[in-house]
């Protein structure tokens, strides 16, 4: 082989080697990007905050969430749902300190959730919507009932009826929107219950919590569900903005509101927002509540000022102010 041919062969070999290296350097990142683009299920911790904004039923709603969380973890290897109990005040303090949840369960005075919730495009719930977009969905509910030990509900008057005022609820609004008028006595929930069974009053306006008080103490009552208004909804929202966490959080909500889990709500004395037959029998009023679908709902994200105004209007309407009664409906969905 001549020197010239040797030089050409060596040069060609070098050129091929450079081209091969060049192709490898550009091909490898392309392969890496392809692998990274493949959808991956979330692995890690989902932080769920739970706020009991109103009196529940006969068990802890946080415990029910915990059971659903363990089922979710079993179906999603590598995911841990960590539940933290909060009050509205402690949740606000935690947010101010820079800590935020991925999912939040709430009810009552929790209007601040609107600032951290993400849209739930697959759900529609007008009472938890802003500008036509839903940001929360209820996963359980309660309701208002009229109880009596010896009446037939035909003579409900301010003189013989007491209203049980539970935390985070608007029972006066429920009474006013049923058309009741008068100077009704309003007592804290346990006091109202005691006054009824002690014979001081013939009727008591209460909630699902009172159903279980009567059951626990073996007191026989008749119950009639109020049909026009309910604000006793436990909502849940996704707060995580990261795509993988958002989707994992949404999957948890899907499980929680599935029929499989909704029919188990009797274990904590609550009702399903979506399914009937959680209570096969009367159940001291729970079946009656289940059959009544409240016509009017209070917005989930109402701020403190709106809640205070609504409460004041309800009291005035109950006492006979029809102008306040009309204004009440402006707040409802």
Q: Give the pLDDT score at 302.
A: 97
Q: Give the pLDDT confidence score for residue 22 in this predicted structure.
A: 35
Q: What is the pLDDT of residues 250-298, one digit of tens each?
A: 999 999 999 999 999 999 999 999 998 788 765 568 988 998 888 899 9
Q: Which residues of the chain have pLDDT under 50?
A: 1-39
Mean per-residue pLDDT over the chain, rounded: 88
pLDDT per position as a tens digit, 131-161: 999 999 999 999 999 999 999 999 999 999 9
The whole-number pLDDT of residue 30 equals 28
> CB-based burial of residue 146 (10 Å sphere; 0-12 exposed, 13-18 middle, 19+ buried)?
buried
Tokens of 126: 């007008």
Long-range contacts of 276-279 (CB under 8 A, 24+ apart): none
Residues with Cβ within 8 Å of 235's Cβ and at least 6 positions away in sequence, in order, are 105, 106, 107, 110, 113, 128, 136, 137, 138, 139, 300
Helix residue spans in 178-285 (DSSP H): 189-197, 208-217, 243-256, 259-262
The pLDDT value given to residue 326:
97
């Amino acid at each position: 082989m001549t020197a010239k041919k040797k030089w050409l062969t060596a040069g060609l070999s070098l050129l091929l080697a450079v081209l091969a290296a060049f192709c490898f350097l550009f091909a490898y990142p392309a392969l890496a990007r392809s692998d990274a683009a493949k959808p991956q299920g979330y692995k890690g911790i989902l932080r769920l905050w739970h706020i009991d904004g109103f009196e529940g039923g006969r068990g802890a709603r946080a415990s029910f969430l915990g059971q659903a969380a363990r089922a979710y973890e079993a179906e999603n290897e590598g995911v841990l749902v960590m539940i933290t109990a909060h009050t509205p005040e402690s949740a606000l303090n935690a947010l101010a300190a820079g800590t935020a949840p991925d999912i939040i369960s709430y009810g009552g005075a929790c209007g601040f959730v609107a600032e951290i919730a993400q849209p739930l495009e697959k759900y529609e719930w007008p009472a938890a919507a802003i500008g036509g977009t839903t940001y929360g969905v209820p996963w359980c509910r309660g309701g208002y009932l009229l109880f009596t030990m010896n009446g037939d509900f035909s003579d409900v008057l301010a003189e013989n009826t007491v209203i049980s005022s539970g935390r985070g609820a608007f029972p006066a609004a429920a009474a006013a929107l049923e058309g009741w008028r008068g100077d009704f006595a309003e007592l804290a929930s346990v006091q109202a219950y005691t006054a009824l069974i002690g014979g001081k009053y013939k009727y008591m306006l209460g909630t699902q919590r009172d159903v279980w008080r009567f059951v626990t103490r073996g007191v026989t009552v008749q119950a009639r569900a109020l049909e026009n208004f309910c604000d006793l909804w436990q909502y849940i929202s996704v707060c995580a903005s990261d795509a993988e966490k958002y989707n994992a959080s949404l999957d948890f909500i899907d499980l929680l509101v599935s029929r499989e889990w909704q029919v188990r709500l009797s274990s904590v004395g609550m009702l399903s927002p979506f399914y009937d037959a959680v209570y096969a029998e009367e159940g001291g009023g729970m079946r009656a509540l289940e059959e009544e679908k409240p016509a009017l709902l209070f917005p989930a994200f109402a701020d403190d000022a709106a809640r205070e105004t609504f409460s004041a209007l309800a009291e005035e309407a109950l006492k006979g102010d029809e102008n306040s009664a009309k204004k009440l409906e402006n707040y409802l969905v």
